[in-house]
């Protein structure tokens, strides 16, 4: 196995992008990453996308990306693991470089969600749950996470205010991210007065529907040292990957994300580090409760202690362990297939010291956690400067 480094990043503004198609978004981010890396060739590409077939009617993204990148015979692989498709694409690209199959690999994540109306996109996202035994009975994603939230409140005394403070923090961070979908500060009262979605979750507890893409260039670390990229190469220190039951109700506990726990253990082990060594993390806050549960599964907080930790400001930029300095899915946006790639991209920019107003000072070791569905799949990546 060869050591792997990230030498290029590409992302654009995320949001409701009526002028841009899925192929526009994926190609624009990819070209930026190639330029940032300063490479003159790409040997292979992997694209992560959850559901272009339902969202846009277009499958066969391998051909679409190879074609529109202007590199026709390029081998391209498309992967899917619901909202973890982006990090899965990264893992596939990492494995290809580590195994010596390819030297310069482009990893792209993309999703075009606003070509559908609200109830159609709710349906598309719902396919990441158990369609026959959750969706059929009227479950929605906010509804499933709401049942996790109620259980977390019941078992640990987590409060409505603590959930609100997750959204408030992530919006404050997003204000410092020029690519974020929402550039707006919010208060706890704003969250608690926003429209009801699935009790106790309200609109401002939920990540938005977003169009966007992000891309990275991966090379063997030996080659990275010879390139002159936009910033110093960032090394992939460890990756962990795990799955859990497709239906939330099949799990022994609704308040534990087992796939996140196991993927984190594997990532920490392969990197030879522990949770206390991590300087910052991007976690999968598709809903406010998801950020709290991810903090516990990643070992940043003991079970039930994530809410008080947010209340004490320990996860803000400048706190003990800044979480989601990019603004998270909540503020930056959540184009499902792109999210995992963009989380890793944020860690790269932080470790390069290029994160501007949201820079975490002295960041040398960062973690990204991306999950699908209600935690039915999870990938944890640890990067080092």
Partner 1 sequence: MQPQKYWREIPARYRLEGGRCKKCRKAFLPSRLVCDACGSREFEKARFTGTGTVHSFTMIHTPPSGYSGPYVLAIVELDGGPKLTMQIADCGADEAKIGDKVRVEFRKLTQVGDAGVLCYGYKAVLV
Q: For the CB of residue 116, give the shortest distance to partner 1 in the complex, in Å.
A: 11
Q: Looking at 28, 246, 248, 294, which residue binds partner 1 (CB under 8 A)?
A: 248
Active site residue 49: no
Identity of the residue, 195 or 276, whose beta carbon is nearer to partner 1 in the bound complex: 195
Catalytic choice (49, 83, 206, 286): 83
Q: For the CB of residue 120, give the shortest distance to partner 1 in the complex, in Å.
A: 7
Identity of the residue, 55 or 94, whose beta carbon is nearer to partner 1 in the bound complex: 55
- Asked if 163 interacts with partner 1 (CB under 8 A), we say no
- Asked if 133 interacts with partner 1 (CB under 8 A), we say yes
Report residue 2: phi and psi, to 5°. -95, 150
Catalytic choice (171, 241, 279, 334): 334
Active site residue 334: yes
- Asked if 335 interacts with partner 1 (CB under 8 A), we say no
Report residue 274: phi and psi, to 5°. -125, 165
Q: Looking at 9, 87, 148, 298, which residue binds partner 1 (CB under 8 A)?
A: 148
* Ramachandran sector of residue 321 (left: φ over 0; alpha: ψ -120 to 50; beta: rest): beta
Helices 336-352 and 85-98 sit at what angle, rounded to 10 degrees?
60
- Asked if 123 interacts with partner 1 (CB under 8 A), we say yes
Q: Encode burial over 120-155: b for 16+ CB neighbours within 10 A, e otherwise.
A: ebeebbbebbbeeebbeeebbbbbbbbbbbbebbee
Radius of gyration of the chain (CA): 19
Q: Looking at 15, 135, 220, 307, which residue binds partner 1 (CB under 8 A)?
A: 135
Q: Which stretch binds partner 1 (CB under 8 A): 61-69, 80-88, 240-248, 266-274?
A: 240-248
Q: For the CB of residue 35, give the shortest distance to partner 1 in the complex, in Å.
A: 41
Q: For the CB of residue 286, give the shortest distance to partner 1 in the complex, in Å.
A: 15
Are 355 and 342 within 8 A, CB to CB?
no
Interacting positions 183-212 with partner 1 (CB under 8 A): 195-201
Q: Which stretch binds partner 1 (CB under 8 A): 78-86, 95-103, 241-249, 261-269?
A: 241-249
Identity of the residue, 149 or 385, whose beta carbon is nearer to partner 1 in the bound complex: 149
Q: For the CB of residue 293, give the shortest distance to partner 1 in the complex, in Å.
A: 14
Q: For the CB of residue 88, give the shortest distance to partner 1 in the complex, in Å.
A: 22
Identity of the residue, 26 or 248, whose beta carbon is nearer to partner 1 in the bound complex: 248
- Asked if 140 interacts with partner 1 (CB under 8 A), we say yes
Q: Which stretch binds partner 1 (CB under 8 A): 145-153, 233-241, 258-266, 365-373?
A: 145-153
Contact set with partner 1 (CB under 8 A): 119-120, 122-123, 126, 132-140, 142-144, 146-148, 150-151, 154, 195-201, 245, 247-250, 254
């Amino acid at each position: 196995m060869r050591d792997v480094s990230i030498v290029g990043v590409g992302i654009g503004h995320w949001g409701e992008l009526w002028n841009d198609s899925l192929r526009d978004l994926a190609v624009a981010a990819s070209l930026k990453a190639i330029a940032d890396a300063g490479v003159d060739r790409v040997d292979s590409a992997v694209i992560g996308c959850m559901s272009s077939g339902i969202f846009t009617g277009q499958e066969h993204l391998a051909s679409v990306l190879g074609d529109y990148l202007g590199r026709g015979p390029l081998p391209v692989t498309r992967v899917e693991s619901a909202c973890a498709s982006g990090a899965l694409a990264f893992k596939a690209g990492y494995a290809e470089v580590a195994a010596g199959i390819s030297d310069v690999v482009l990893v792209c994540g993309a999703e075009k969600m606003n070509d559908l109306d609200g109830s159609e996109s709710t349906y598309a996202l719902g396919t990441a749950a158990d369609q026959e035994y959750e969706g059929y009975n009227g479950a929605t994603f906010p509804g499933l996470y709401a049942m996790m939230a109620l259980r977390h409140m019941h078992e640990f005394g987590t409060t409505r205010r603590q959930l609100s403070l997750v959204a408030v923090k992530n919006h404050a961070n997003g204000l410092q991210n020029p690519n974020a979908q929402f550039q707006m500060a919010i208060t706890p009262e704003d969250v608690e007065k926003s429209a009801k979605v699935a009790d106790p979750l309200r609109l401002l507890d939920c990540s938005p529907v977003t169009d966007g893409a992000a891309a990275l260039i991966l090379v063997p670390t030996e080659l990275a040292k010879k390139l002159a990229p936009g910033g110093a190469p960032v090394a992939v220190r460890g990756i962990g990957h795990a799955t859990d039951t497709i239906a939330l109700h099949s799990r022994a506990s609704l308040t534990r994300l087992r796939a996140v726990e196991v993927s984190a253990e594997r990532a920490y082990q392969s990197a030879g580090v522990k949770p206390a060594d991590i300087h910052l993390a991007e976690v999968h806050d598709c809903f406010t409760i998801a950020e709290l549960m991810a903090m516990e599964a990643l070992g940043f907080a003991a079970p039930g202690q994530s809410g008080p930790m947010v209340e004490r400001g320990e996860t803000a930029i400048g706190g003990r362990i800044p979480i989601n300095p990019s603004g998270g899915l909540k503020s930056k946006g959540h184009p499902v297939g792109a999210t995992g790639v963009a989380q890793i991209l944020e860690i790269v920019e932080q470790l390069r010291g290029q994160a501007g107003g949201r820079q975490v000072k002295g960041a040398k070791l960062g973690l990204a956690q991306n999950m699908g569905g209600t935690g039915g799949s999870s990938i944890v990546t640890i990067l080092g400067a």
